[in-house]
Amino acid sequence: MNYSKWVILILLVVGLVACSTATGELEVTDVWGRNSPAAADNGAFYMTITNESGQDDKLVAVSADVCDVVELHEMYMKENDVMGMRPVEGGAIVIPDGETVELKVGGLHVMCLGKTESFELGNEYPLTLTFENAGDMAVTAAILQAPPVAQ
Ligand SMILES: [Cu+2]
């Protein structure tokens, strides 16, 4: 194969990959992490996920180099009006077709257990989201000032 054929082949492959991501049927936006000092063992990431894929999907895992372990958590009301958090049922967050699911302060969140560095304002960390149907998706979380938690 000569050089120009290789170029055409590579362009075709790049085009196919671009198309498959450009369909963007599962869209992840506003990915951010809460600022927290190195002294805090754990951190949290939040994001908005919109599913226009035509079928239900599930966020089944998240990986991040800056966390020893990542879990998908939800806040819930314990007794005496005390909020607690726990891993989501089944270990996955369902993203129903045609709906938008918000991971936000006081609700669903990506729990970063065993932070390996201080989450300073302005830092950015790559996360890999794994969806049951859509597969892996790479996103970047910006570290922002966390809004006050509603009482
Ligand atoms: Cu949590």
CATH of the domain at 58: 2.60.40.1890
Kindly list the distances between the CA atom of residue 41 and the CA atoms of 37, 48, 55, 140, in Å, as whole numbers in the listed order. Answer: 9, 25, 37, 21
Distance from the alpha carbon of residue 72 to the mean position of ligand 1, in angstroms: 7
Instruction: Confirm whether 13 is domain-assigned.
Output: no
Distance from the alpha carbon of residue 69 to the mean position of ligand 1, in angstroms: 12
Give the pLDDT confidence score for residue 149 in this predicted structure: 57
Give the pLDDT confidence score for residue 22 in this predicted structure: 39
Instruction: Confirm whether 5 is domain-assigned.
Output: no
Instruction: Confirm whether 89 is domain-assigned.
Output: yes
Whether the per-residue pLDDT at 15 is higher than 80: the answer is no
Whether the per-residue pLDDT at 8 is higher than 60: the answer is no
- Lowest-confidence pick of 21-25, 48-52, 93-97: 21-25
Report helix, strand or coil for 92: coil
Distance from the alpha carbon of residue 146 to the mean position of ligand 1, in angstroms: 15
Give the pLDDT confidence score for residue 7 in this predicted structure: 57
Distance from the alpha carbon of residue 92 to the mean position of ligand 1, in angstroms: 14
Kindly list the distances between the CA atom of residue 20 and the CA atoms of 13, 16, 36, 50, in Å, as whole numbers in the listed order. Answer: 11, 6, 36, 17
Give the pLDDT confidence score for residue 19 in this predicted structure: 42
Instruction: Confirm whether 122 is domain-assigned.
Output: yes
Residue 102's pLDDT band (cuts 50, 70, 90): very high
Residue 151's pLDDT band (cuts 50, 70, 90): very low
Residue range 113-137, pLDDT digits in tens: 999 999 999 999 999 999 999 999 9
Instruction: Confirm whether 16 is domain-assigned.
Output: no
Give the pLDDT confidence score for residue 146 in this predicted structure: 76
Instruction: Confirm whether 149 is domain-assigned.
Output: no
Distance from the alpha carbon of residue 109 to the mean position of ligand 1, in angstroms: 6
Residues 6 or more apart whose Cβ sits within 8 Å of residue 88: 72, 73, 74, 108
For the chain, the average pLDDT equals: 87
CB 93 within 8 Å of CB 62: no
Q: Domain of 140?
A: 25-144
Number of domains the chain contains: 1
Give the pLDDT confidence score for residue 119 in this predicted structure: 95
